Amino acid sequence: MTPTSANAGAASSYTEHVTRVLTEDREHQGIGTVAVLTFAPPEGESRPATLGPQSFENVDAALTRALERAEAGEIQAIALTGTDRVFFAGADLSMFTDASVQEIIDPMTHRAHDLQVRMRAAVVPVLAHLNGAALGGGLEVALMADVRTAGPKVRGIGLPETSLGILPGWGGTTLLQSVIDPAEAVRVILEDPARDKQLSATEAEQLGLVDVLVDDLESALDHLATRIADGAVDPSSRPDPIPAAGSERAQALLAALDAPHTTAETRREWAARMESVGAPSLARTIGVLDALPGSTLSESLSAEREAIVGLGTSDAAAGSLYAAELLRRGKPGRRPVEGAREIRRVGVAGAGLMASQIAAQLALGLQVPVVLRDLDEDIAAKGLEHARGVIGQAASRGKLDEESARQVADLLSATADVADLADCDLVLEAVPEVLKVKKSVLAELEGVLSPSALLVTNTSSLSVAAMSEELAHPERVVGLHFFNPVAKMPLVEVVRTERTSPEVLATGHEVVRRCRKFGVESADAPGFIVNRLLFRVLSEVLRSADRGADLSEVDASLDPMGLPMRPFELLDLVGIGVADHVGKVLADQLGTERFPVSQGLERLLESGEAGTVRDRSQVHPQVSDALRTAFSGVSAGGADEGGSVPVGDELLDRVLRGLAEEVGLMLQEGVVEQPEQIDLALILGAGYPRHRGGLTPYLDQTGVSQEVTGAAFHGDRFTH
């Protein structure tokens, strides 16, 4: 089916891949004639079925026809299902990026709500068999049914909308609490999306979201027949989905909204905090849920409609949906990277904490022998033990079964003899971040490896070109910067030098793909992507701290950005020694005007103390006495011309302007080709907020990119 453009009369660039609804009648001995509606992607396409304006029109028409046939007595039940591994993937998110989004979403939402009401008045039972994923609007379609079943292996059930800057606005916010325990409904709507959690079929059954797990539609119909026969499904007396004011269900719902999100804040407080940093979807969703008890279905659906239409045009939705698309496109592919070499054996030079984590990841991903090598046999043995422990932890989290874990662990070995790496196709060095040491290790490896073997560095900030300049074959060197902790961090920066061969670069990307990580390519430049930008932020923060600003005020100054942690907590996480080292590398390579060396940070490193103190009753750790001592008495330039040291909004402005400048330079220098690479790297490697789109959409929305670089990074997409 040819894609169609929505709202042809409006200034719309949205092109829809129109979902088909395949209809057939199926005879069932215990039910009679069942109208089976199957949601399918456009003919000849393998993409999941999604809901755009024309798709929803098709769904509406098919369901309306089924309801009419039920009224006429032609059918005795309606069954909804999907194709392949997808029931319904939900709304087509690309329509939210269109300039005419409000004109698209409002009538679709009205149609969805009208269907919810009419399906609840169906004179025959309605079944939804989740043959595959049911997300967002797809699950809301399933909520139209009296009975829901699912395949035992189905994954991807949930309502992720609040993480996309909107809310479940096609009936989900209103109706989920009528199907499962209200406390669980609140968790599924508010907290699961923030944790990127989706339900498996088993979990959905445990919650009561699906009634039973069955292998196929025929078995689902058998279950429906049983429910009809025992009187559990009666279309003439469906319960009111809205809890009465003061009822037990209403009290449970309101209590869930006031329940702890963490030890430091309730869900309401969390939602209010997120709204204060530019993410209003949680607060709007809580508002709809708050008003639910004692209202009517029509009133609650109207509240949903008002909320989703308003949120759909917000900066947070624009940033969130942009981020979602980046993550979708950047996800590790199923096909091998073209031009990559075959890797049959891998070596890791070094056996410390980072090296052993990477070795475990390579064994898990590549499924080939991995040899850890360290000069010290005891360190090598400890590294091997730790790497095998990482495999065991993966098994305990359900990532692989125990037998597979044993097989992968057996692929790992350790040695103190560099000759044992001679037959490796790839060796990755993960030794201390000292250029002289890394050059020595690479030179030693080149002396024993075949000329075709890859040499890989895990450096986080040093020049890969400088590391390899004295090698006979620098073209076989590539950087793969894994982030710590390796098992949890999904990003790997793939660093190319001017001399890295295309085949070696492709192989680097293939290694990342097989490790199921997101690879973002960077030119060989100081700090690559993530560290360069993180330290541009920290440099401004430390500049104010060195100049005598109140450290608590400095720490809180960047809160409006919505970052996952405050600056001094980030320093503790990175490690004071690592931060001091990387900061000095960047100062040396890029200049102290943008990356000044912090005297206070040096003194904190000398003290051996942390910069923050964790209090579980507070959202953010507090500044430590050691940090105050380290920065007391430091004099690095004093106040600005106006007599003040930047804190609060002034410091935030300096940070944003500095980031815009740095992004502009990185694009100009060819560190990355597109701002999307920067945003994906910051989201995955530094936890930058998705509702900000990572970074560059936020810089466009605030106008800072235009002011600093003379142009928005994304044209007029995020500007007002």
C-beta of residue 94 within 8 angstroms of C-beta of residue 142: no
First CA to last CA across the chain, in angstroms?
35
Where would I find the H helices in 11-76? 53-71
State the DSSP code for 561. Answer: G
Identify which of 422, 441, 419, 445 has the alpha carbon closest to the alpha carbon of residue 432. Answer: 441
Cα separation of 44 and 315, whole Å? Answer: 36
Helix and strand element counts for the chain (H, E): 29, 22
C-beta of residue 554 within 8 angstroms of C-beta of residue 541: yes
Reply yes or no on whether 669 is catalytic. no
Active-site residue, selected from the candidate residues 113, 129, 261, 481: 481
Cα separation of 265 and 618, whole Å? Answer: 8
Where would I find the H helices in 517-575? 530-546, 551-556, 567-574
C-beta of residue 678 within 8 angstroms of C-beta of residue 666: yes
Cα separation of 562 and 281, whole Å? Answer: 14
Reply yes or no on whether 473 is catalytic. no
Active-site residue, selected from the candidate residues 531, 539, 544, 624: 531
Cα separation of 301 and 168, whole Å? Answer: 11
Active-site residue, selected from the candidate residues 493, 510, 521, 676: 493
Cα separation of 94 and 689, whole Å? Answer: 20
For residue 126, the SS3 value is strand
Cα separation of 39 and 59, whole Å? Answer: 8
C-beta of residue 356 within 8 angstroms of C-beta of residue 401: no
For residue 611, the SS3 value is coil
Reply yes or no on whether 7 is catalytic. no
In the numeric block, the tokens 């052993």 are attached to: 356
State the DSSP code for 475. Answer: G
Distances (CA, A) of 519 to 161, 401, 527: 26, 27, 16
For residue 634, what are its two tokens? 């430091």
Active-site residue, selected from the candidate residues 163, 320, 460, 463: 460
Cα separation of 366 and 282, whole Å? Answer: 40
For residue 12, the SS3 value is coil
Cα separation of 379 and 493, whole Å? Answer: 27
Residues in Cβ contact with 641 at an 8 Å cutoff, skipping those fewer than 6 apart: none
Letter for the amino acid at 94?
Answer: S
For residue 534, what are its two tokens? 């993180």
Cα separation of 542 and 268, whole Å? Answer: 33
Cα separation of 148 and 212, whole Å? Answer: 8
HSE at residue 27, side-chain half, CA atoms within 13 A, is 1
Cα separation of 709 and 660, whole Å? Answer: 7
Reply yes or no on whether 460 is catalytic. yes
**Residues labelled as active-site residues:** 460, 481, 493, 531
